Amino acid sequence: MKFLSGHLRRGAFGFEVQAWRVAWVLALLYGIGVPAQALAQSAPVQSTKAPGRAQPELALPETIVRLMQTLELPEQSLSVVVREVDSGAEPMHHRADEMRTPASLIKLVTTQAALDLLGPAFVWQTPLYVSGPIQGGVLRGDVYVKGSGDPKFNLEAATKLLQSLKGMGVQRIEGDWVIDKTLFDVRLKDPGAFDGEPFKPYNVGADALLVNFNALLLTLTPDAVLPLAHVRVQPPLLGLVYPASVPLTAGPCADYRAQLKADFSQALSIRLAGSYPRACAQQVWPLAPPNAQEFSVRALAGLWRDLGGEISGDFKLGVVPKGLTPLWRQDSPPLGDVIRDMNKFSNNVMAHQLYLSLSAYPSTPQSAPKVGSDEASAQRVHDWWKERFSAPEPRTLEGSGLSREDRMSARAFTQLLQYAWESPYSPELIASLPISGEDGTLKKSQAVGVAHLKTGSLNGVLGVAGFVQARNHRRYILVALVNHANAAKARPLMEAWIEWVANR
């Protein structure tokens, strides 16, 4: 109920509002559906596109200054804005107009642009086609799957897509299974180029058919009786070889990954030459195989095999022929749910998928999708930003923040968050942000339950941006961003800013 308090006014329907905030809280507490049209009617957006003007710097609080000295962070490394959302008063702003590297805070731009341009109810539809008849359990033709850019086409969704074909009686395919990835025009990405970690799932590139984030899940489960840990890999990539078990050892659960002595040098072979500590219990190790282009092909082939399906031809990349009608469409969760998964845990791959979707899908649902690209999405975000904000527009290469070339000011973030608060889609954006001390990337925060904040971090970058509920029952926008070699030390500084705002 923290975001309910504040100014109330009489609405067009004869009851006290801000009714859209009441409806949002009721929806969260009791699962009541709230039509987007009703929200839009009860919460008109106030434009934040006002003439920009420089504001005099305010002195940082003495407690903040002392803490920054302790953390070896110079004052010029920090940009911060604290703004009351109702009045627009700013009790604090410091170097607010400096363009800085924002890291994952840039996902706020991608999120709000998607809410405005696509809508919270938007879904990605992954269609399946066949080119021949189904007779006696045999499909006499090819199968085609057209990648839709779905950011959450996980194992469950992929399995449902294949089960749709099985459910129509197909046991054997007398032809090929063709995967069409032409919706996105993306360059092949070197997964180790950013930080030298090619097997980290956050370095996976965008993909029109992103099966399970193009990541393997290696699960290790200690046997209850035998001195071994069972090994399972999902999805079941066709041709992948790995040991069924590894020896168990006693001792504490320290760095189990190093103890396994894993070797991933062969694309279709996982070797585990070490052992696994029993004290670690069950663990899941996410891995990104190096050949992303083959991943979705081998994943769908392995899933079809595991479902008992047969095929005479190959699983391969290609293009859906013109004139075919979809036999089945696998829908994603709505965008409102996708951004919650994306922002709570700052998922870079989902953010890039969403960013590309901004140019792949027009605002009118009746229009056919186009080819999405980073360049086209950047132009669409540019146009969207210029219509709404006076602050200099952000620079973003792929919408996730996983680039040191991205730039945005604390003032621009403040305008964006003020606009988001006044938007009819503010419940969706706020619900997508980590809650301090409770979930997502803010689960370890000491300020339990007082803030909804997006976090951002890279080597040399640390920041938070979002909303804080203060003790005076007012809501504040907080944007705090550090660019410095010692930014990794700045987590206590972010906590201090949350506390400073919450204690007002």
Contact 276, 300 (CB under 8 A): no
The CATH superfamily of 125-188+293-331 is D-Ala-D-Ala carboxypeptidase C, peptidase S13 (3.50.80.20)
**The pLDDT of residue 363:** 75
Amino acid (1-letter code) at residue 229 = A
Average of per-residue pLDDT values in the chain: 88
Please enumerate in sequence order all residues whose Cβ is within 8 A of that of 81, keeping only pairs 6 or more positions apart, or say none: 90, 92, 93, 94, 96, 410, 411, 413, 414, 477, 478, 479
Mean pLDDT (whole number) for 108-126: 97
Digit-coded pLDDT (tens) for 315-365: 999 999 999 999 999 999 999 999 999 999 999 999 999 999 999 998 776
d(CA 141, CA 151) in angstroms, rounded, equals: 29
Joined together, the tokens standing for residue 40 give 């839009």
Question: For residue 197, what pLDDT band results from cuts at 50, 70 and 90?
Answer: low
**The pLDDT of residue 448:** 94
**C-beta neighbour count of 133 within 10 angstroms:** 9
The SS3 call for residue 118 is coil
| Range in 151-160, 263-272, 457-466 with the lowest mean pLDDT | 263-272
More confident residue, 403 or 37: 403
d(CA 68, CA 53) in angstroms, rounded, equals: 28
**The pLDDT of residue 29:** 36
Per DSSP, what are the bridge partners of residue 71? Answer: none
Is 282 exposed, middle or buried (CB count within 10 Å of its CB: 0-12, 13-18, 19+)?
exposed
**Has residue 105 got a pLDDT over 70?**
yes
d(CA 82, CA 95) in angstroms, rounded, equals: 12
- Number of residues in the chain: 504
d(CA 447, CA 455) in angstroms, rounded, equals: 14
- The DSSP secondary-structure symbol of 482 reads E
**The pLDDT of residue 426:** 97
- The DSSP secondary-structure symbol of 219 reads E
Amino acid (1-letter code) at residue 115 = L
**Has residue 6 got a pLDDT over 60?**
no
Digit-coded pLDDT (tens) for 416-432: 999 999 999 999 999 99
Contact 115, 429 (CB under 8 A): yes
**The pLDDT of residue 281:** 96
| Range in 42-46, 142-146, 411-415 with the lowest mean pLDDT | 42-46
Q: What is 45-121+335-502's CATH number?
A: 3.40.710.10
**Has residue 367 got a pLDDT over 60?**
yes
**Has residue 273 got a pLDDT over 90?**
yes
Q: What angle do CA 299, 300, 301 make, to 5 degrees?
A: 90
Domain boundaries, the chain: 45-121+335-502, 125-188+293-331, 216-287
Please enumerate in sequence order all residues whose Cβ is within 8 A of that of 491, keeping only pairs 6 or more positions apart, or say none: 462
